[in-house]
A = this chain, B = another copy of it.
Amino acid sequence: MTVFMNDLLLLNVCCFSAWRYCFYTLWVTNSQVTILDRVPTGIKGLDELLGGGFPEGRCILVVGSPGSGKTTFAIQYLHHGAMLGETGLYVSLDEHPEHVKENLTSYNWDLDSLEKKGKLLILDASGLRRANIKPDGPHPVFSPSSSEGLSFTELLRTVSKVVEGENVRRVALDPVTSLMLRYSEEVKRRRATIAFFDTLADSGCTSIVTSELKTSLMDRRFQLEEFLSHGVVLLHTLMHAGNVVRAVQIEKMRGISHDTQIRPYQFGPTGIEVFPRDKVF
């Protein structure tokens, strides 16, 4: 923290007032009494920005650009819960569950072992692949029977059943985009999204839902689901001084104080690592 303060004094002396409010925010994080229980994410550095973790029982939106690690974030969150003994459910809406696991073999997580112990459940909810992939794969724990993919309602019912039957504590849906595209009228999409977030919250689990960040600009139009979720974590891919930099920003987290700045992250052997005291710009 001393180094951080030095940086502050040396480099940012000219924009003192702006820093002041950031600092206030951070101070609030550390000092304020909060009542909501926290669920640690297991993402190095992020829990510090959140003051401990996600608020329990809420549904958090993770919005990221292509290649920003949305799926890594989701599985890392479930993996951490599983290591703490909490059963997690991963709902794959676009990708082969088998590919998801292959993509994460570079991290030191033993997903197969967790799956065997019943601590990690994987639901293939795309409804696309029943027929045309190798039928002997072990992965589809629960497989939908509809041919056109699960409807919003069916999906929620299935998730609720699994959550109740298997005592699930953490849910990750990855990504929500296809579901939302089914509603062409904004008013209906909005209602469905509210119902969706409410049902996940009513399940008692602490959930994350991933979504696609449409643009690489910092200044942008906000997306519908950012207003309706209980919390929003943004995974940016930014250009800065000719470099591509990955950065995380907690845009919103209802009910708790949290850091609001844009912080760099990278992929390391244990998954996503956030640098909670460094700045991107």
Cβ 8 A contact of A253, one of B20, B34, B67, B249: B67
Given A106-B32, A251-B66, residue A212 in contact with residue B241 (CB < 8 A): no
Contact B218 A214 (CB under 8 A): no
Interface size on A, residues (CB 8 A): 96
Given A15-B240, A243-B261, residue A67 in contact with residue B232 (CB < 8 A): yes
Identify which of A114-122, A164-172, A196-204 touches chain B: A196-204
Contact B241 A12 (CB under 8 A): yes
Please, which residues of chain B bring their CB within 8 A of the CB of A241?
A: 12, 15, 18, 281
Interface: A138 (CB within 8 A): no
Contact A19 B222 (CB under 8 A): no
Contact A128 B198 (CB under 8 A): yes
Please, which residues of chain B bring their CB within 8 A of the CB of A178?
A: 187, 190-191
Contact A242 B198 (CB under 8 A): no
Q: Which of A12-62 contact B (CB under 8 A)?
A: 12, 15, 17-22, 24-25, 28, 32-36
Contact A191 B128 (CB under 8 A): yes
Shortest distance between the CB of A22 and any CB in chain B (Å): 5
Please, which residues of chain B bring their CB within 8 A of the CB of A249?
A: 244
As a 0/1 sequence over residues 87 to 117 of chain A, the CB contacts with chain B under 8 angstroms (1 = contact) are: 0000000101001001111100000000000
Contact B129 A198 (CB under 8 A): yes
Please, which residues of chain B bring their CB within 8 A of the CB of A261?
A: 243-244
Contact B34 A106 (CB under 8 A): yes
Looking at A34, A71, A215, A254, which has the most chain B CB atoms within 10 Å of its CB? A254
Interface: A141 (CB within 8 A): no
Contact A28 B246 (CB under 8 A): no
